[in-house]
Amino acid sequence: METQQPKISTTEPQQVRGIDRDSVTQWLLENVAGVTAPFEFSIIEGGHSNITYRVVDGARRALVLRRPPIGKLLATAHDMAREHRIVSALAGTAVPVPPALGLCEDVAVNEAPFYIMEFVDGHVLNSAEQVQSLFDVGERAQIGASVVEVLAALHTINLEQVGLDTLGKKEDYLARQLRRWRKQWDASKTRELPAMEEVAEGLEHHMPEQIGVAVVHGDYRLGNMITGANAKIAAVLDWELCTLGDPLADVGYLLNNWPDSPDEVGSSPVAERPPTAAGGFPKRAEVIARYQELTGIDVGNVAYYRAFQYWRLAAIVEGVLDRYMKGKMAGTVDQDVYRSRIDGLASAAVEMMEEVA
């Protein structure tokens, strides 16, 4: 099976927004071992927060460059050094990540910090149709098993051993997240949405005690992974929301993006059937059982975390919409589709809160 190349924009390299071609070229030659000029820069479509570029050097070696959105940003978001630190720390563990090659914090080079990774071949699975065209039913079961195994590995990593024990505060994860995303919602909302306030109040009232401390990815789904031709996860991407905290937050998020049937809609901010709607993947109950087996963590109160993640994702996607509306992203989206999806996420959070004891 051939690996799928990422969807690359047709913009000419010298016209790529967010890249100072000459300055970045010089930095790459001075800081990344083994690369050769000239470089081609192309936007990798699909990301809606930090901007991701494919960089091809003169010898056709492929790299990836990550930088923040263009323009003024919310203070707590888009920390390139932090994201680079996480990817570097996880190298060599059971959590596959792209090899980190360099970090530039000098804003004089490219207006904003950025970091460089090796390009990893494979497929970023965003839809059921894509899965059906690439993997048979047996391979889908292997992909599902790999997703759960990698998540369990992430949540059982020895924090001190990999140097991530100081990544963030370990206690009160849910309280901190609720404060953060209520603040972010207020700062970036494009309209009033009463369901968001209703769910926030319910989440605060029913907040459970935190079960352990782990590295929490924050956006753990197949669309943020590279799936190899061997039907295993080759790399986990997009660590910008990663922190320390309650591992069940990742479980709730994964389940929201893991439909059991072809007709079920997931949490994607775009109108596509989620990957597991293709069929052949483990059911949610199997995912929960396998995760509990591998980690020993009780997932009995997962409804709360699913409600929390629907609500949180609505706040995140609203922020993405706000950035597109203000011209801070290197592309365009259908704003009506985004508003509809945000409304759907808020409604899903309301419904899931009804299952919370």
Tell me whether residue 185 is in a domain: no
**Residue 114 counted as domain residue:** yes
Residue 58 belongs to domain spanning: 13-118
**Residues contacting 216, CB < 8 A, separation 6+:** 173, 242, 243, 244, 245, 246, 247, 249, 250
Average pLDDT over residues 277-298: 97
Q: Is residue 55 part of a domain?
A: yes
Task: List the structure tokens of 28.
Answer: 């790459």
Closest CA to 218 of 169, 176, 252, 260: 252
Q: Is residue 148 part of a domain?
A: no
DSSP per residue over 47-90, as a string?
A: -SSSEEEEEE-TT--EEEEEEPPSS---TTS--HHHHHHHHHHH
What pLDDT, in 10s, does the model give residues 295-320?
999 999 999 999 999 999 999 999 98
Specify the CATH number for the domain of residue 95. Answer: 3.30.200.20
For residue 50, being part of any structural domain is answered with yes
Q: Is 101 a domain residue?
A: yes
Say if 30 falls within a structural domain: yes
Q: What is the DSSP letter of 309?
A: H
Q: How far is CA 303 from CA 242, 253, 284, 351, in A?
A: 21, 10, 12, 10
How many domains does the chain fold into?
1
pTM of the model: 0.87
- Confidence (pLDDT) at 328: 79
- pLDDT band with cut points at 50, 70 and 90 for residue 3: very low
Residue 73, domain member (yes or no) = yes
pLDDT digits (tens, 9 = 90+) for 4-54: 444 544 444 457 999 999 999 999 999 999 999 999 999 987 655 789 999
Residue 75: pLDDT band by 50, 70, 90 thresholds? very low
**Three-state SS at 192:** coil
> pLDDT digit string (tens) for 127-168?
999 999 999 999 999 999 999 999 999 999 999 999 999 999
